[in-house]
Amino acid sequence: MKTVTVAVVDSDPTKYEEQHVHAVYDQIASHFSSTRYKPWPIIASFLASLPTGWVGLDSGTGNGKYLHLPADRPGSILTIGMDRSWNLLQIAKHAGSEPAALVTREVVWGDVLGNGWRAGAFDYAISIATIHHLASHERRKLAVQRLLHCVSPSHGRVLIYVWAVEQDELSKRNIPTDGSGSEAGGHDVFVPWVIPAQGQDRKRQIKTEQDSNQDDAQSNDVPVYNRYYHMFAKGELPRLALEAADGMGLITGSPNTNVRDKQGCEVVRDGWERSNYYVELRRWKT
């Protein structure tokens, strides 16, 4: 079981994330990437459902494991990967290519809170296991607004995944719920990442992405990197998405044919999958 501990966010979430998120991922990039290779089914299905010719953004792409999808229609859509970790981007540049040198993916260094895209630049956007690293409710809401801003106001689709307080039986994380709760209902925690001592990787076979990194905190000869997470509570993610849309002046809910010259955002679906919450959003315009 991983030793997940309560995190207390200080008054400067920007510096807090720099220390407990960005610096950590640059240090663990190579080992982290080696455990992140299998696409989640709902995300793969979402990308496979997109019309040929669409262009999208993977905001917080990590090692870029979704950039080459859909597997059954290679090249039918173009997903541009963006991440804050320079070291992970170097891996993402050749994601899904064997040998890696054959294909170069479109990636860009950037921050999920940045405003570097023109309004409606993309047809779709995904943000997988990223927004939960932002250290305040307002910053998480802004990240959703950046996604809604950059997709088409008439047909843009957005899919967001975050880690859940409710972990399944396969998870090796036990989420502490005392003293880490937020106004939004989730919990702020540190989740350790352990890079095994040299020669130990092969002894520790990876079962799944979510429980691949065993907790070796009791060992003094391996470094432990604590990553900040806001673990989302049930219902928190769709509420955040609708609050973000409302803050942009969008109508929340399904389009009404009787309303003219309006823009809105609806929740297409939301749910829980293997210790994650997800929400799919659609922009609309009348």
Q: How confident is the model at residue 180, as a pLDDT?
A: 56
pTM for the structure as a whole: 0.88
Q: How many domains does the structure of the chain reveal? A: 1
Q: Give CA–CA dist 180/233, Å, rounded.
A: 12
Residue 245 lies in a domain: yes
- 81 with 102: CB under 8 angstroms? no
Residue 141 lies in a domain: yes
Q: Containing domain of residue 251, as a range?
A: 10-164+234-285
Identity (one letter) of the amino acid at 122? F
Helix axes 236-247, 137-150, angle to 10 degrees: 60
Residue 184 lies in a domain: no
- 125 with 56: CB under 8 angstroms? yes
Q: Could you give the strand order of the β-sheet that contains 224-231, starting from the edge strand earlier in sequence?
A: 5-6, 187-194, 224-231
Report DSSP state, residue 76: S
Residue 203 lies in a domain: no
Structure tokens at 196: 């095994």
- 140 with 131: CB under 8 angstroms? yes
The percent of residues in the chain predicted with pLDDT above 70, rounded, is 86
Regions of the chain short of the pLDDT cut 50: 199, 201-219
Residue 208 lies in a domain: no
Report DSSP state, residue 232: B
Residue 172 lies in a domain: no
75-115: pLDDT as tens digits: 899 999 999 999 999 999 988 766 655 678 999 999 999 99
CATH at residue 22: 3.40.50.150
Q: Give CA–CA dist 115/101, Å, rounded.
A: 31
Residue 63 lies in a domain: yes
191-233: pLDDT as tens digits: 999 987 664 544 444 443 444 444 444 445 678 999 999 999 9
Rg (CA), the chain: 19
Residue 159 lies in a domain: yes
Question: What is the DSSP code string of 99-168?
Answer: SGGG----EEE--TT---S-TT-BSEEEEES-GGG-SSHHHHHHHHHHHHHHB-TTT-EEEEEEEBSS--
